[in-house]
Amino acid sequence: MSVKKLRVMVAKPGLDGHDRGARVLARCFRDAGFEVIYTGCHQTPEQIAAGALQEDVDVVGLSCLSGAHRYLFPEVKRLLVERGADDIQVVGGGIIPEQDFQALRDAGIAEIFTPGTTLDSIVEWFNTHVQPRR
Amino acid sequence: MRTASRLIRCLEDGEEDARSAMKYLFPFTGRAHVVGITGSPGAGKSTLLDGLVESRRKIGNNIGVLAVDPTSPFTGGAILGDRIRMQRHAEDPGVFVRSLATRGALGGLSKAVGDAVHIMDVMGKDMIFVETVGTGQQEIDIINHSHTVVVVLIPGMGDGIQAIKAGIMEIADIFVINKADRPGTSKLHRELKALLDLAAPTSFHNGWRPPIIQVEDAFKPEPFGKSIQELSDTIDKHYQSLQEHECLRSRLHRKAETELKEAMQVCIMDTIFEGLISSGEEEMMINEILNKKSDPYSLAKGMAERLLKKHH
């Protein structure tokens, strides 16, 4: 009786204590039946990447409202790739200006969710684009 | 490390291949000292654990941590938040923290805990900490998976009667009164001491009377560090005592028995149920119970007779 559960890490990189969004999403993922590893605020990209590997997650969701996403998001992705985990998808959310989307996508960020995105559509994206234990 | 984490995951998910992999790993297990940490929600288990990890790293121990949090009975999802308190060790290659969801197990652990302990053991961890979910009174599966059980209590959680209840109070090898800077600490200490005084000396296995350690405010590094050191030393003393009195063997016996039962459950019961579900028989039986045409015991007995070919 084998079941495949989606494992998601929700993390807040950098100096940003606004975690309401991250918590709402963690809760929403729980309700969608995912296993959520929530690591809280003020994480370095190194901590997030190391945690993602130890926890064997399928996807890392980063929340950033400080404006430092252009550095922080790609750095997490880079560290994962460097450690041989290019299969772990990285998605981001928060206050992200549209003109930054392309740069983030080019750096390997799979999707960006900005304010106003419904929880349902985020869960739907996860269910469509992320396979547990590929 | 990622291989280990993936293997734990496959075992959590109940993959057949992963179970066969255990066959090759099993002979190399049995080296690590497994320490269980249990206590009510918010008692401070993760924070204590973070302190313990730091103190063990100072003496060069290679550490594994398995932290269990509850799965939602409604959606099957889970929020695993124990890492938050241990993030400062995230980049330390000598510390491997893995969160597990209970996935319906009721004893305060996840079914995969036993296997995950073995995997960390084979990885060469000197000490493996297993943190249970926040427990009530009855979630005592931790004794079947650890050599040393630390029960974490906090002041203000009930009167003396709580302390003499069965279950969680009986499984402690070491008691910790956490947040001991709060009111009610001396009362709790008194009650615990009275509980231990009441017990017949023979009820302490190999003469080990569970010590009571008070740990104060985690935000004051100095007294906290001192208490953690005391706890860490006591954990070592308990292991030595188990070894000296050859009690390690009886604990391992209990662990082996549990693991055998769990494996039987997986290989026999789950297989039977899978068959019954796919043949539709399970649904039929449930309907018979609902319509009062039969009762669960008769159905189970009939099934046992059919499957075991035994007639009473």
Among A24, A51, A25, A56, which residue's Cα sits nearest to residue A39?
A: A51
pLDDT > 80? residue A1: no
Give the pLDDT mean for B141-153: 89
pLDDT > 90? residue A133: no
Q: Are B119 and B143 in contact (CB under 8 A)?
A: no
Residue A70 C-alpha, separation from nearest chain B C-alpha, in angstroms: 23
Per-residue pLDDT of A97-130, as tens digits, reads: 999 999 999 999 999 999 999 999 999 999 999 9
Q: Are A57 and A44 in contact (CB under 8 A)?
A: no
pLDDT > 80? residue A95: yes
Neighbours of B236 (CB within 10 A): 14
Per-residue confidence (pLDDT) for residue B22, from 0 to 100? 87
Q: Do B274 and A1 touch (CB under 8 A)?
A: yes
What's the rounded Cα separation, in Å, for the pair A65 and A12?
A: 9
Greatest extent of chain A over all pairs of C-alpha atoms, in Å: 47
What's the rounded Cα separation, in Å, for the pair B224 and B217?
A: 6
**Token pair in block for residue A21:** 């969004």
Give the DSSP per-residue string, A12-70: -BSS----HHHHHHHHHHHHTT-EEEE--SSB-HHHHHHHHHHHT-SEEEEEE-SS-HH
Buried b (16+ CB within 10 A) or exposed e, B197-219: eeeeeeeeeeeeebbbbbbbebe
What is the amino acid identity at position B82?
A: D
Q: How confident is the model at residue B195 (pLDDT cuts 50, 70, 90)?
A: confident
Per-residue confidence (pLDDT) for residue B165, from 0 to 100? 65
pLDDT > 60? residue B164: no
Q: How confident is the model at residue B194 (pLDDT cuts 50, 70, 90)?
A: confident
For B91, the closest of A29, A47, A84 (CB atoms) is A47
CATH number among 3.40.50.300, 3.40.309.10, 3.40.50.280, 3.30.70.260, domain A7-129: 3.40.50.280
Give the pLDDT mean for B249-266: 85
Q: Do B87 and A47 touch (CB under 8 A)?
A: yes
Neighbours of B303 (CB within 10 A): 14
Q: Which helix (H) or strand (E) holds A78?
A: helix A69-82
**Domain locations in chain A as residue ranges:** 7-129
Q: Do B72 and A40 touch (CB under 8 A)?
A: no
Per-residue confidence (pLDDT) for residue A42, from 0 to 100? 92
Chain A neighbors of B14, CB-CB under 8 A:
1-3
Per-residue pLDDT of B94-105, as tens digits, reads: 999 999 998 877
Express as a percent the part of chain B with pLDDT over 70: 95
What is the amino acid identity at position B269?
A: M
pLDDT > 70? residue B111: yes
Q: Do A50 and B90 touch (CB under 8 A)?
A: yes
Q: Residue with structure tokens 């002979």?
A: B27
Per-residue pLDDT of B114-144, as tens digits, reads: 999 999 999 999 999 999 988 766 777 888 8
Per-residue pLDDT of A74-94, as tens digits, reads: 999 999 999 999 999 999 999
Per-residue pLDDT of B280-296, as tens digits, reads: 999 999 999 999 999 99
Chain A neighbors of B6, CB-CB under 8 A:
56, 133
Q: Do A51 and B81 touch (CB under 8 A)?
A: no
Task: Report the first-to-last Cα separation within chain B, whole angstroms.
Answer: 52
Among B129, B130, B136, which residue's Cα sits nearest to residue B153?
A: B136
Chain A neighbors of B90, CB-CB under 8 A:
46-47, 50-51, 54
**Domain locations in chain B as residue ranges:** 2-246, 260-308
Chain B neighbors of A51, CB-CB under 8 A:
83, 87, 90, 97
What is the amino acid identity at position B180?
A: A
pLDDT > 80? residue B190: yes
B80, B86, B92, best to mutate vs chain A, most A CBs in 10 Å: B80
Give the pLDDT mean for B88-114: 88
Q: Do B75 and A32 touch (CB under 8 A)?
A: yes
Using a CB–CB cutoff of 8 Å, tell me whether A56 touches chain B: yes
Name the H helices within chain B. 2-12, 16-25, 45-58, 113-122, 160-164, 185-198, 221-244, 248-264, 270-279, 281-290, 296-308
**Token pair in block for residue B94:** 């000598």
Chain B neighbors of A38, CB-CB under 8 A:
79-81, 83-84
Instruction: List beta partners, residue B152.
Output: B39, B176
Residues whose CB is less than 8 angstroms from the CB of residue B188 and which lie 6 or more positions away in sequence, other chains included: B153, B155, B156, B157, B177
Per-residue pLDDT of A26-43, as tens digits, reads: 999 999 999 999 998 999
DSSP annotation of B287 reads H
Per-residue confidence (pLDDT) for residue B310, from 0 to 100? 57
CATH number among 3.40.50.300, 1.20.1440.230, 3.60.15.10, 3.40.50.920, domain B2-246: 3.40.50.300
What's the rounded Cα separation, in Å, for the pair A124 and A127?
A: 5
Residue B146 C-alpha, separation from nearest chain A C-alpha, in angstroms: 22
Give the pLDDT mean for B209-224: 89
Give the DSSP per-residue string, A83-104: TT-TTSEEEEEES--GGGHHHH
Chain B neighbors of A50, CB-CB under 8 A:
90-91
Chain A neighbors of B46, CB-CB under 8 A:
none
Per-residue confidence (pLDDT) for residue B243, from 0 to 100? 87
Query: What's the mean per-residue pLDDT of chain B?
Result: 87
Q: Do B90 and A46 touch (CB under 8 A)?
A: yes
A7, A44, A54, A131, best to mutate vs chain B, most B CBs in 10 Å: A54
